Structure 1
Amino acid sequence: MKAITANRLTDGRVVYRRADAGWTPDLKAAEVFSDDDSAQPALDGALRDILTVVGPYLIDVVDAEPAGRARVREAIRLTGPSAGTTRSAESA
Structure 2
Amino acid sequence: MADKVLTANRLTDGIAVWLDASGDWVEDLQVAFIARHAEAVQALEETGKRALADNLVVDVNVIDVEETDGKIWPTRLRERIRAAGPTMAYAKDHGFADPNFIAA
For the superposition of Structure 1 and Structure 2, which TM-score range results when normalised by the shorter chain? 0.7 to 0.9
Aligned-residue Cα RMSD (Å) equals 1.8
**How far off is 1:19 after superposition?**
1.3
How far apart are 1:75 and its partner, in Å? 2.1
Length, aligned pairs only: 79
Task: Supply the distance in 2 between the matched residues of 1:15 and 1:28 (Cα, whole angstroms).
Answer: 11
Larger relative contact order (C-alpha < 8 A, sep ≥ 6)?
A: 1
**Structure 2: 5+ residue stretches without partners:** 89-104
Identity level (%) = 35
1:65 aligns with 2:73: yes
Contact 1:47/1:55 (CA < 8 Å) preserved in 2?
no
| 3-state SS of paired residue (2:55) | coil
Higher helix share: 2
Corresponding residue of 1:48: 50
Which structure 1 residue ranges, 4+ long, deviate > 4 Å from structure 2?
none
- The structure with the larger Rg is 1
Shift of 1:37: 4.3
* Structure 2 length-normalised TM: 0.66
